[in-house]
């Protein structure tokens, strides 16, 4: 089926690759930022270097990072791994501060109550502190998801296959149809990611629903 | 890799002339600053209005996040296809890029200004009102100074994104540091691409540092945000 001169099956295929390139880094970035954010909060002297250091990652333009990573990682320039690594770095840049802020927002008396109930450090972290930080972390994750989806499309300039190829293809052929379809598909994908994160947050924070009634 | 980049960067002929590094860096800065100023002219008044009156909060938050989902590359190429045949001369190339950069620059500034004004302690507002300040005076003499750190963080993240994205303007034939990335790829010259990439990253860092210094000079010392103050 064709829409605006664009093969729909191809769009779906590109969208799946796009979702993979934007989604996997989101999970990897979250996995790295959790311990980093925790460290930044627990060891005060680590806070400035960790937060400023990860923040610096965000100053590197995506196109520049896509180009520089093959030289650093020894990968080929067209390798999707470059995009995954770059997007993971951006996710870490956005999330480390959010995780630290989220964990920092857990009130002290809650932490003390958990300790008084006999929670060890690890169990207190996973059973009390992390769940309570979920709303703040999820807000950061939503920003990261949307910006990842938009940034991945830039990788089309170096030829990595995803929705961005619709932009470069359409432009080189002087056809507006594929570009419009590509923009729409990107926005829809971003909305889908956002809804998934919202659903996950809801499932992880049943007490918030209880309060709202 | 470091040697090839260094070889390209230390070659004097690469720096001079109309297509040289110096000229392209200045062109990159010129475009980025125009985009930042236009974005600020649009975003600051709206952010101040919403933050001060509290009207239109929901719309603003949704618009900001919706704007972030729009892929810049797509909008740039679409705008170029639409405008290139209709405009003449340099403007035909610059306008599509400027449109995209401004679209990209508005949301972070909006968010910063609005959040900055919104987080002003209600006690400070009440005190200003109690001192007999008019709405306009409260905004300029109390709320804006207190909001400055967040306003600056909005401006800085806007500038970072504009500088990063200005590189893709080279795709539609514009100058700037993106030229080295795009031309380098066309000529299969990795040293040129990597050198250009490094220069953009450095430029972004330097400009952010300068804005940071400006922030330190402008923000009242009592408010200077200590990075260690978390909770």
What gap in Å lies between CA A77 and CA A151, rounded to an integer? Answer: 17
**Residue A141, helix vs strand vs coil:** helix
Q: What pLDDT, on the 0 to 100 scale, is given for residue B228?
A: 38
Shortest CB distance from A157 goes to which of B66, B168, B196?
Answer: B168
Q: What pairs with residue A2 in β-bridges?
A: A7
Confidence band, pLDDT 50/70/90 cuts, at residue B229: very low
- Out of A69-73, A193-197, B135-139, B227-231, least confident range: B227-231
Q: Is residue B187 part of a domain?
A: yes
For the cut 80, the answer to whether the pLDDT of residue B2 exceeds it is: no
> What CA–CA distance (Å, rounded) separates A81 from B124?
51
Average pLDDT, integer, range A124-129: 89
Say what percent of chain B tops pLDDT 90: 33
Q: How much of chain A exceeds pLDDT 70, in percent?
A: 99
Residue B205 neighbours by CB under 8 Å, 6+ apart:
A56, A59
- Asked whether A103 and A51 are in contact (CB, 8 A), the reply is no
Give whichever of A44-48, A129-133, B86-90 has the largest mean pLDDT.
Answer: A129-133
Q: What is the pLDDT of residue A26?
A: 96
Q: What is the DSSP string of B148-175?
A: HHHHHHHHHHHHHHHHHHHGGGGGGT--
Phi, psi of A7 (to 5 degrees): -70, 120
CB-based contacts of A157, cutoff 8 Å, min separation 6: A63, A66, A164, A168, B73, B168, B171, B181, B182, B185
Q: Which residues of A touch B181 (CB under 8 A)?
A: 63-64, 67, 157
Give the C-alpha separation, B108 to B42, whole Å: 12
Q: Which residue has the higher pLDDT, A208 or A20?
A: A20
Q: pLDDT band at residue B170, thresholds of 50, 70 and 90?
A: confident
Looking up residue B193, the CATH number of its domain turns out to be 1.10.3720.10
Q: Within a domain: residue A211? A: no
- The answer to the question of residue B15 being in a domain is no
Residue B85 lies in a domain: yes
In whole angstroms, give the CA distance from residue B74 to residue B168.
11
Structure tokens that stand for B67 in this block: 């704007």
Whether residue B86 lies inside any domain: the answer is yes
Q: What is the mean pLDDT of chain B?
A: 87
Q: Answer whether residue B112 is part of any domain.
A: yes
Chain A CB contacts of B190 below 8 Å: 71, 77
Name the residue of chain A whose CA is nearest to B166's CA: A61
Pairwise pLDDT comparison (A199 vs A213), residue with the higher score = A199
Mean pLDDT along residues B192-199: 88
Q: Does B198 touch chain A (CB under 8 A)?
A: yes
Number of domains in chain A: 1
Contact A155, A83 (CB under 8 A): yes
- Residue A120 — very low, low, confident or very high, per pLDDT cuts 50/70/90? confident
Give the integer Cα–Cα distance in Å for B176 and B163: 10
- The percentage of residues in chain A with a pLDDT greater than 90, rounded to a whole number, is 49
List the one residue out of A118, A155, A53 whose CA is nearest residue B72. A155
Tell me if B70 and A158 make a contact (CB, 8 A cut-off): no
Confidence of residue A213 (pLDDT cuts 50, 70, 90): low
- How far does A167 lie from chain B, in Å, by closest CA? 5
Q: How far is CA B151 from the centre of its chain?
A: 12
B65 contacts in chain A (CB < 8 Å): 142-143, 146, 194
Residue B230 pLDDT exceeds 50? no
Residue A62: closest CA among chain B residues belongs to which residue?
Answer: B164
Whether residue B227 is predicted with pLDDT greater than 50 in this model: the reply is no
Whether the predicted pLDDT of A143 surpasses 50: yes
Q: Please list, in sequence order, all residues whose beta carbon lies within 8 angstroms of the beta carbon of residue B195, skipping any fewer than 6 positions away.
A: B5, B8, B9, B14, B180, B184
Q: How many whole angstroms separate alpha carbon B1 and alpha carbon A72?
A: 8
In a domain, A53, yes or no: yes
Predicted confidence at residue B224, as pLDDT, reads: 65
User: Per mean pLDDT, which range of A7-16, A139-148, A179-188, B185-194 is the poorest?
Assistant: B185-194
Instruction: Please check the confidence at residue B43 and state whether its pLDDT lies above 90.
Output: yes
User: Mean pLDDT, to the nearest integer, of B174-202?
Assistant: 86
A vs B: CB pairs below 8 A: 141
- Hey, are the CB atoms on A63 and B181 less than 8 Å from each other? yes
* Token couple for A32: 């790295």
pLDDT above 90 (res B7): no
Contacts of A158 in chain B (CB under 8 A): 185
| Token output for A6 | 């664009």
Domain of A30 in residue numbering reads as 2-205
Chain A residue closest to B204 (CA)?
Answer: A59
Q: From the list A56, A67, A171, which residue is nearest B181 (CB)?
A: A67
Instruction: Let me know if residue A139 belongs to a domain.
Output: yes
pLDDT score recorded for residue A86:
93
Structural domain containing residue B185: 22-224
Q: How confident is the model at residue B88 (pLDDT cuts 50, 70, 90)?
A: confident
Cβ–Cβ gap A143/B71 under 8 Å: no
Predicted-complex ipTM score: 0.85
CB A64 within 8 A of CB B200: yes
User: Is the CA virtual torsion A165, A167, A170, A176 positive or negative?
Assistant: positive
CB-based contact A48 B228, cutoff 8 Å: yes
Question: For residue B14, is it within any domain?
Answer: no
Total number of domains in chain B: 1
Q: What is the CATH number of the domain that holds A67?
A: 1.10.3720.10
Band of the pLDDT at A60, cuts 50, 70, 90? confident
CA-to-CA distance for B52 and B117, rounded, in angstroms?
A: 6
Tell if the CB–CB gap between A143 and B70 is shorter than 8 Å: no
Mean predicted confidence (pLDDT) in A107-131? 90
Is B68 in the A-facing interface, judged by CB distances under 8 Å? Answer: yes
Residues A168-188: tens digit of each pLDDT: 999 999 899 999 999 999 999
């Amino acid at each position: 089926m064709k829409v605006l001169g664009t093969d729909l099956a191809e769009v779906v295929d590109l969208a799946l690759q796009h979702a993979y390139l934007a989604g996997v880094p989101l999970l990897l970035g979250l996995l790295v930022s959790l311990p980093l954010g925790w460290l930044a909060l627990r060891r005060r002297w680590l806070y400035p270097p960790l937060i400023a250091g990860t923040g610096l990652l965000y100053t590197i333009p995506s196109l520049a990072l896509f180009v520089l990573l093959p030289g650093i990682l020894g990968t080929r320039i067209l390798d999707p791994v470059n995009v995954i690594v770059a997007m993971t770095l951006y996710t870490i840049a956005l999330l480390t501060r959010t995780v630290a802020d989220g964990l920092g927002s857990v009130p002290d008396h809650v932490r003390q109550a958990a300790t008084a109930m006999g929670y060890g450090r690890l169990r207190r972290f996973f059973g009390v502190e992390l769940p309570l930080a979920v709303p703040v972390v999820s807000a950061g994750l939503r920003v990261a998801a949307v910006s990842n989806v938009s940034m991945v499309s830039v990788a089309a300039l170096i030829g990595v296959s995803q929705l961005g190829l619709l932009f470069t293809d359409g432009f080189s052929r002087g056809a507006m149809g594929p570009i419009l379809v590509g923009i729409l598909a990107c926005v829809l994908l971003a909305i889908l990611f956002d809804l998934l994160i919202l659903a996950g947050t809801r499932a992880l924070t049943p007490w918030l629903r209880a309060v709202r009634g | 890799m470091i040697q090839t980049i260094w070889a390209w960067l230390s070659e004097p002929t690469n720096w001079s002339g109309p297509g040289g590094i110096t000229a392209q860096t200045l062109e990159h800065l010129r475009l980025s600053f125009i985009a930042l100023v236009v974005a600020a002219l649009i975003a600051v008044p709206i952010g101040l209005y919403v933050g001060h009156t509290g009207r239109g909060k929901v719309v603003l938050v949704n618009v900001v996040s919706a704007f972030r989902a729009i892929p810049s590359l797509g909008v740039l190429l679409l705008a170029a296809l639409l405008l290139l045949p209709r405009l003449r001369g340099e403007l035909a190339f610059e306008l599509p890029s400027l449109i995209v950069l401004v679209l990209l620059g508005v949301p972070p500034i909006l968010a910063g200004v609005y959040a900055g004004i919104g987080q002003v302690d209600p006690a400070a507002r009440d005190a200003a009102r109690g001192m007999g300040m008019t709405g306009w005076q409260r905004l300029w003499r109390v709320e804006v100074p207190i909001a400055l750190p967040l306003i600056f963080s909005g401006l800085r993240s806007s500038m970072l994104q504009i500088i990063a994205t200005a590189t893709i303007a080279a795709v539609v034939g514009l100058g700037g540091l993106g030229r080295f990335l795009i031309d380098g790829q066309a000529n299969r010259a990795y040293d040129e691409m990597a050198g250009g990439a490094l220069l953009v990253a450095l430029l972004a860092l330097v400009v952010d540092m300068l804005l940071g210094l400006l922030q330190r000079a402008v923000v009242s010392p009592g408010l200077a945000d200590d990075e260690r103050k978390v909770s």
